[in-house]
Structure 1
Amino acid sequence: MIVRTSREEAEQYGKTLRAGHVWNGSARRVSAPFSARAGSHDDGPLCGLFLGGLGTPVCSRNLEGRFSRWHLQSGYHVNQIIDEAFAGFHWNLDGTCGYFRLAESGPAQFSGVRKVHSLFPVTREYYRPENVPLELVAEFFSPLVPGDADATTLPVWYVSLTVQNNAPHPLEAGATLFWPNFLGWRQQPMTSMDRPERCWPSQTHAGNSAAAVPSADLSPGESVVLQQRRTRFHRPRIRSDMDGQVALYTWGPANHSVTEERCFKAEQNLIERAPRDQGHTLAWAEAAFARSGRLPETGLSWVALWHEALGSAIARSTTILPGESERFDFAVVMDLPLVQFGGGRTWRRRYCARYGSEATRTLEIARHAATHRDSYRRAIDRWHRSVLDGSNPLPASQRGAMINELYFVNGGGTVWVSDWAPQPGPEGEEEPPLLGPGEHTAILEGYDTGYYYYNTADLWPYSWYAIWNLWPDFSRQIFRDLLKTIPLHIPEKKMIYRTDTLAPVLVPGKIPHDLGSVMDDPWHRINGYQMRDDSNLWKDHNPAFILSFFLERRLSGENLTLEEWGSVREAALFMFRQAEDSTSLPLHDEFGDSTWDNLGVRGYAAYSGSFTIGSLAALIRWSEEFQDRSLAEECRNRMKRALSTYMEVLWNGEYFRISDRGKYASCVMADGILGFFLADLAGLGDLVQGPEVELLRSHLEAVHRYCFRQYHNGRYGPLLVAAPGSTRFTGDGGDELQVNEVLPGSAWMTVAMMYHYGLPREASEIAEALTNVIYTEGGLQFRTPAAWNSEGQFRAPMNMRPLSVWLVEAVFRHGKGDPHYGA
């Protein structure tokens, strides 16, 4: 039974959403938004949240209400306003009628007061037309319900319009949803920056059509159009990732009038009649709705020619009495069951385990979504309020920023597959996937060249908690896949261009840089970054993975299996071989041999050193659990040597230097103590036994002093690298990256560490600066980049690392801000 949202609940939702991003039309337009550096794509300052389930096709409406970003194929990013996709509203009051699209720019744009509140995964839009006594509230959201993986992976998003009649007369009101048939729209395998501005409808539409469900099979108040793609035999067939069915579905009270137009041409014809007079076109169907609140309902459909872009529409209308309100509900189900990567391998999306992979149960998904729509919305509101009202000391706007950073969870090229779908080719069966044919999950580092990889190991320590905290199965699967790689040896040689040498793809014991690329064959062809530098030489991958994995298991309360311990132990032994025998710390002697791969770090480094020490503490604890006395003893000896060296060569009396030699020997980086922080969060502080908290606090105070305050008085956030009296450095390795930049992923981690070590004022100042740049000054909302600078430039938008903002929450749930910490 559907229990619909009450007016009181709806009002509560509106209050909650005010903590999110606020857009008041042109009054909030960013006057000088940040611009992209060379090599980065730029979606503009109007980006909004994505609509769609985790690991399903998603799209995004911008802040003005126009559909503008498209990830219909997993990992493929398209930025193009497509005005053929829209929601519209018709009204008739005492003989005077009007119509507008739910957008403040573009065709049939709205005129009046419009406000937008976005709090992941909900966008709420308020409309008050000029000189018309009605109010309209539209909500667009996906069922991304924390803790509910089944709901979260549904290929569904909702549109709900609630209309309030403030007139003394009855109001005739109607809502509609127009949607192009995108089936078959496959992207060229290229990065986002190189993609042309206009991709649709510049592809073949051959075979696209639409069907309706017989009225006898529908309940009163229910209507659906099923967009399809047919073969030359006129049968729908699922062969690629853009095959399937898309349902435009509406449901509601039986006294609503429901209409549909299942097929029309999405573009106009170059003929003598005006667009609205060209039958069976979008303009013709929209004009009919604008006049009457009803679609033409011709009942016609046909199969498109290659150059014939088609669309469909559904609508519902009713009469609203004075002082009353009415809600119009729609759902879009994008039942495209397959994921297909550049290498050709095909996988089934997670929801296929329940609904099959033939796209024959699309209406069943739609009805399930309708039945649970209000319960999903309540669950999302409860979660919102639990975060906004929790013990986290951030003000509401910054907590809202933390929630909104989760845009990347369904907007980050995310995939969640149930199993491999082998496709026989001319040469026989495919080779089985290296990491297994079963369930996998993945999220991109970013969409631009150099970042276009899944599950990058150096960013995962910053990002996993945000996902684990809400959908632990997704995060857990990535840890499992990284574990599977540890024993692998991939001897195939790749050219390492910096050194002009050939090196194997992956050596045994080494955590890979990544688990593959969209354009290649994820979970099979892994360590795709093995090209510019030799990622087998990176010194932070193994210790960062071991420590992060330990923290994940501690927070989840799960014990390591014997098989998992075997893999962790092998990774530990490789980490030992990467360290110097006399100090037990890694020595950086190759350019780019850590996550800071554009910094020429030399010698012993605070960052990799703190991770090494933290991971040794984790290994001691695990060794004791598995009664591996020899390894436990070795780890204790190694920690003693490592701590002694770390303190002796890196502590300068004020902070831990980035490295003990070279260009950055006098510089400070907040992340230099990250390993100690994560170890402390994992309850390993008693094993680490140093540095003292006072030294860690002094280090962070120096970061606040030199990286933050010294850099434009903190306006842009903290630099990654600074020194007393120095905030500008020449670039290393052929480019000016990571120096002279604020990295928001690192900066949010800095905020978390400052709260953990008792520096709330400093933490709050940095959090305020970051929130201002992302959501106000920079126009970077819902596309947080890897970095920005004081010149108003950003690099690598839509990046995984800023999910680290959720470590602030971890501090107050599991760290020193938790009253049960250490219990």
Structure 2
Amino acid sequence: MQNQSTSPQIPDCTWQRPIGLGWKTPYTVRYPSNLDDGPWHGMPLGGFGAGCIGRSHRGDFNLWHVDSGEHIFQSIPACQFSLFEQVGDQSQAYALSTEPPKDGSLSTWQWYPTVERNREAKEAEGIQNSKLKTQNSKLKTPSPSTGTYHALYPRSWFVYENVFQANLTCEQFSPILPDNYQETSYPVAIFEWTAHNPTDQPITLSLMLTWQNMVGWFTNASKSPEVKLRDDGSPVYEYQPRLGESTGNVNRWVNEGARVGIVMEKAKATMGDRQPSEGDGQWAILVGDPQSGIAVQPPANIEVFYQTRWNPTGDGSEVWRTFAKTGALLNQANATAAESGEQIATAIAVRFTLQPGETQRIPFTLSWDFPVMEFAQGVEYFKRYTDFFDRSGKNAWAIAHTALEHYQTWQQQIQSWQQPILDKPLPNWFKMALFNELYILTDGGTVWSAATAKDPVGQFAVLECIDYRWYESLDVRLYGSFGLLMLFPELEKSVIRAFARAIPTSDDRTRIIGYYMTIGADSPMAVRKTAGATPHDLGAPNEHVWEKTNYTSYQDCNLWKDLSCDFVLQVYRAFLLTDPTDIGFLQECWAAISQTMHYLKRFDKNFDGIPENSGAPDQTFDDWKLQGISAYCGGLWLAALEAAIAIGRILAEQTADIRLLTSLSNDIGNFQLWLEQASLLYQEKLWNGQYYRIDSDSDSDIVMTDQLCGQFYARLLHLPDIVPCDRAQSALRTVYDACFVKFNQYLKSGNFTQHFTTVQQARLAEQQTLDTANQFKTQNAKLNISSPPIGAANGVRPDGTPENPNSTHPLEVWIGINFGLAAFMAQMGMEDEALAIAHAVVQQIYDNGLQFRTPEAITPSGTFRASHYLRAMAIWAVYGVLAGEL
């Protein structure tokens, strides 16, 4: 065991919350059918596409994204760290979660106290109240908290205070390493515990990790679930995991020389010699010595105890009786398989003594090996990490041991990546959100397949969100893929290649469109995918990701006017901003670029150079009707034409093939002609002297927040401006004044609902109690904004009022769109305004229980829509512009 003289260095810009402290008025879901797991979310652990787990700031493990693309949120109480402490003849032991099981299990365990439980929660807990009072009476120093949770993805920390006499910190992380396409895929979590004795007498501590054998739980029992339309018009299917089905599960104590730990799996008699299917595999836990880099071979001052089999549905006394008394376990290696209806768990503990002033660090590694992801029945892929281990589903031990050998190097690599950004003169709240919004790359139902000759780093995809469960929605990732682009460029290119391959394909199956159901109208039957149309998404977990595209049926995506443009811009972005020598990437995408731009031009019904919006919602704001030429889609069209011309010219310079040159020349000529037509028309039809009208045919005076997304992309990609700079500045100032300043003033006026005022007052009082609001006051005062604004609405009238108080998308605050707007403002020299908008939405997320489940939209009435949403990673565009990296 290694002596250390210092405590872990936790950056000062983490998201922080007292352990176990809840929210009086967290945001709640807007539509009852949408996902609302409540605010107890912590940073996820696990590699990209390997499945992930989550541990909240209560200390409980409660997020289980182990089955690719599927979501389970519930606390598994037996999955838990516990600590025993003895000082002199006094001892105490706690499971390190503030949330006792609600089903009465593990009733003999003592649960970690929190002083800040509100009275209502205590009364609801009934008999548990008396236990909490007893626990709290033991506290020698009254405190508003018993510790603090910190998170700065991919690291998080628990700092325990005022309960134990030892100082105790747990650092949790997985090896998420930029531009690393190996370790970033590993299904492993590291928990490095640092214990320090600040007293003048010895302290004996024992750390125990208990874990339930959940092998076989994470697969859909319904292999062909029926797809239905939810009340919001979105397609949905029922996921039926096999939770609790543990028949044949077995736990093995492993002692291989210097390596000791526990493997959880199925008995060989149950598996036979068959290859693993989805849900088959192992879990493993190891403890180790960071100094030697190997698992613990106990020296004289360290004792390792184990109990491989106990009942997690009982009172827990099998392990708690001995652990709470001495910090020991019974050292029973029982490999009896679970019978029908039985569940089993395992436990391992490390006991050691700290002399006065001594510090010790103890790492635990937790791994899981479920190598197969199955989409539709029989559609199976191996996960990326199987390229570095084998595909047998028997590598949890090897993965955990690898982590034990390398975790300190991984720690240093993460710090080396983050520190230059942390050293930049940016606000702490911004740095905090910048890293934490990357959580979606782990948490977002992520799939990452094993490598092939065609895809040398595998294929990759992240869900739009859990409610809209389809992959890599192209209109969303126009904003939300900046983190992937900047940190994992090869994964970004793999996604773009998948879209390029999908564009020429067709799928003639027809279906109804959900939007019409929501407005009470008859739906036309729409073809799923038209050849040449850029698909909206890369498919869903219940079909065949990457092959069957356009899963969403809320709108007919073949009619959308932004998707083709989004594709072309993202191709050129990936080329220009990652490796501008990768001509092969452009060559792979060119045929799709040409085909989809010609496809979109078909919607230019009057041949004036710009495809018209149809009046039905036919772009990313898919509840918002645009008619005729629109500022949003028209601007993207102009920028995409410029990008396509630039790509064509690059390719023309690289080839001597006459036929290819002729084809390129024809396309470039067409695109140039369309651009010249469209540029003049865009100004003529939409510029009103102050900002760009939302569209040409509706006579609306609404100010659209994202009216000039095309101009942002043109500048980002070093293309000619699509609008004059002075007009862009005027439009941005109007957006800021109307959609942000005046909209938030309107919300606080008597013209809005009393409910909003009540909710916001309660939230502000809570924020001031935690002293978090002070981070944001300076910026708001500088810009003369009353605190706290909720962000910029998608579209309001110039005075900040709604055109239609009952509209949906215009009055929502979209987190990713706000970050996109902030990036554009920073690009145009409006850095103060950019930071004001960015921190408004950051405050709403991280002060109101939306952390690590960032939604697409929030509303003035304290509701949200579509949690775990991809678009919010657009904060990396803000950083890229501010830091001069984009």
Q: TM-score, normalised by structure 2?
A: 0.82
Q: Does 1:405 align with 2:437?
A: yes
Per the TM alignment, residue 560 of structure 1 is displaced from its structure 2 partner at its CA by: 3.4
CA shift at 1:142, angstroms?
Answer: 1.2
Is 1:645 the counterpart of 2:681? The answer is: yes
Q: 1:495 is matched by which residue type in structure 2? A: I
State yes or no: 1:720 paired with 2:794: yes
Q: CA deviation at 1:264?
A: 1.5
Structure 1 residue 123 and structure 2 residue 156: aligned?
A: yes
* Aligned partner (choices 375, 382, 389) of residue 341 of structure 1: 375
Q: Offset of 1:463 from its aligned partner?
A: 1.6
Quick one: structure 1 residues 35 and 123, their matched pair in 2 at CA, closer, same or farther if it must change by over 3 Å?
same
- After TM superposition, list the pairs within 5 Å mapping 1:327-726 onto structure 2: 327-390=361-424, 394-418=426-450, 439-448=458-467, 451-496=468-513, 498=516, 500-529=523-552, 531-558=553-580, 559-561=582-584, 562-580=587-605, 582-627=607-652, 628-662=664-698, 665-685=700-720, 688=721, 690-713=722-745, 715-726=789-800
**What secondary structure, in the 3-state scheme, does the structure 1 residue paired with 2:846 have?**
helix
- Find the counterpart in structure 1 of residue 851 from structure 2: 781
Q: 1:554 to 1:137 in 2, by over 3 A?
A: same
Q: Is the 8 A contact 1:607 1:658 kept in 2?
A: yes
Distance 1:198 1:555 in 2: 39
C-alpha distance in 2 between matches for 1:354 and 1:197: 33
Contact 2:276 2:392 in 1 (8 A): no
The one-letter amino acid of 1:668's match is V
2 CA distance for matches of 1:6 and 1:231?
43
- 8 Å CA contact 1:110, 1:129 repeated in 2: no
Deviations for 1:112-152, whole angstroms, at most 9, x for unmatched residues?
A: 6211111111111111243x531100112111122222111
Q: Which residue of structure 2 aligns with residue 427 of structure 1?
A: none
Say whether the 8 Å CA contact 2:276–2:393 is kept in structure 1: no
CA gap 1:682/1:805 in 2 versus in 1, 3 angstroms = same
The alpha-carbon deviation at position 41 of structure 1 amounts to 1.2
Aligned counterpart, 1:428: none
Consecutive unaligned residues of structure 1, counting only runs of 5 or more, are: 269-274, 276-281, 421-434
**Whole-angstrom CA distance in 2 between matches of 1:488 and 1:809:** 37
Match of 2:157, SS?
A: strand
Of residues 729, 748, 762, the one that matches 2:819 is: 748
Q: CA deviation at 1:88?
A: 0.9
Gaps of 5+ in 2: 101-108, 114-138, 140-145, 290-295, 517-521, 653-663, 746-784
**1:532-555 alpha-carbon deviations (Å, 9 max, x no partner):** 421101110001110121011101
Say which SS state the counterpart of residue 542 (structure 2) adopts: coil
Post-superposition offset of 1:50: 0.8
CA distance in 2, matches of 1:244, 1:747: 42
Cα distance change, pair 560–537 in 1 and its aligned pair in 2 (3 A)? farther
In the superposition, relative to structure 1, how do residues 5 and 625 fare at CA in structure 2: closer, same or farther (>3 Å)?
farther
- Within 2, Cα distance between the matches of 1:343 and 1:697? 53
Deviations 1:382-435 (A, max 9, x none): 222222223xx6411112111111111100000101169xxxxxxxxxxxxxx9
SS in 2 for 1:672: coil
Verify: 1:62 aligned to 2:62, yes or no. no
Change (3 A) 1:644 1:200: closer
**Contact in 1 for aligned 2:5/2:359 (Cα 8 Å):** no
Q: Separation in 1 of the partners of 2:238 and 2:380?
A: 28
- Preserved CA contact (<8 Å) 1:80 1:198: no
Q: Is the Cα–Cα contact under 8 Å of residues 160 and 328 in structure 1 kept in the other structure?
A: yes
Residue 218 of structure 1 pairs with residue 257 of structure 2: yes
CA drift of 1:218 comes to 2.8
CA distance in 1, matches of 2:491, 2:526: 32
Distance 1:175 1:748, change over 3 A: same
| 1:347 alignment partner, SS class | strand
Match of 1:429 in 2: none
CA distance in 2, matches of 1:797, 1:126: 28
Q: Tell me whether 694-703 or 494-503 shows the greater mean CA deviation.
A: 494-503
**Structure 1: distance between partners of 2:816 and 2:383:** 29
Distance 2:646 2:432 in 1: 37
Instruction: State the Cα distance separating 1:669 from its structure 2 match.
Output: 1.7
Give the whole-Å Cα distance in 2 for the aligned partners of 1:475 and 1:340: 23
Moved more, 511-520 or 223-232: 223-232
Aligned-residue CA RMSD (Å): 2.7
Q: Is the 8 A contact 1:237 1:244 kept in 2?
A: no
Judged with a 3 Å threshold, the aligned counterparts in structure 2 of structure 1 residues 142 and 237 are, in CA distance, closer, same or farther, namely farther
In structure 2, what is the equivalent of residue 432 of structure 1? none
Equivalent position amino acid for 2:544 in 1: D
**Paired letter, 1:655:** Y
Distance 1:218 1:200, change over 3 A: farther
- Structure 1 CA distance for aligned equivalents of residues 395 and 731 of structure 2: 58
Would you say the 8 A contact 1:544–1:675 is kept in 2? no
Question: 2: distance between equivalents of 1:101 and 1:389?
Answer: 37
Q: Larger deviation: 554-563 or 795-804?
A: 554-563
Change (3 A) 1:755 1:525: same
Distance 2:627 2:495 in 1: 31
User: 1:197 Cα deviation (Å)?
Assistant: 14
SS of aligned partner of 1:659: coil
Separation of aligned partners in 1, 2:493 and 2:623? 30
Conserved in 1, the CA contact under 8 Å of 2:797 and 2:803?
A: no
- Spell out, residue by residue over 1:573-594, the C-alpha distance to the aligned partner (whole angstroms, 9 max, x if none): 2232233453211101141211
- What amino acid sits opposite 1:614 in the alignment? A
Structure 1: how far apart are the matches of 2:326 and 2:803?
Answer: 65
In structure 2, the CA distance between the partners of 1:795 and 1:121, relative to structure 1 (3 Å rule), is same
What is the aligned partner in structure 2 of residue 759 from structure 1? 830
1:491 to partner: Cα distance: 2.5
Question: Does structure 1 retain, via aligned residues, the 8 Å contact 2:743–2:800?
Answer: no
Amino acid at match of 2:381: W
The 3 A distance-change label for structure 1 pair 129 and 696 is: same
Pick closer, same or farther for the CA change 1:200–1:536 going to 2, 3 Å: closer
Aligned with 2:286 (options 249, 256, 261)? 249
Query: CA 1:199 to 1:98, structure 2 compared with 1: closer, same or farther past 3 Å?
Result: farther
1:161 to 193, 196, 202: 193
Match of 1:260 among 292, 296, 306: 306
- Which AA in structure 2 matches 1:456? S
- How far the C-alpha of 1:232 sits from its partner, in A, is 4.5
Percent identity over the alignment?
26
Residue-by-residue CA offset, 1:162-210 (whole Å, 9 max, x unaligned):
1101121222111111110111113466899999999998542111111
Residues 1:626 and 1:199: Cα distance change in structure 2 (over 3 Å) = closer
Moved more, 535-544 or 619-628: 619-628
CA distance in 1, matches of 2:42, 2:447: 21
AA of the residue aligned to 1:467: L
Match of 1:295 in 2: 329
Partner of 2:111: 109
CA 118–438 in structure 1, closer or farther in 2 if over 3 Å, else same: closer
* Paired residue total: 766
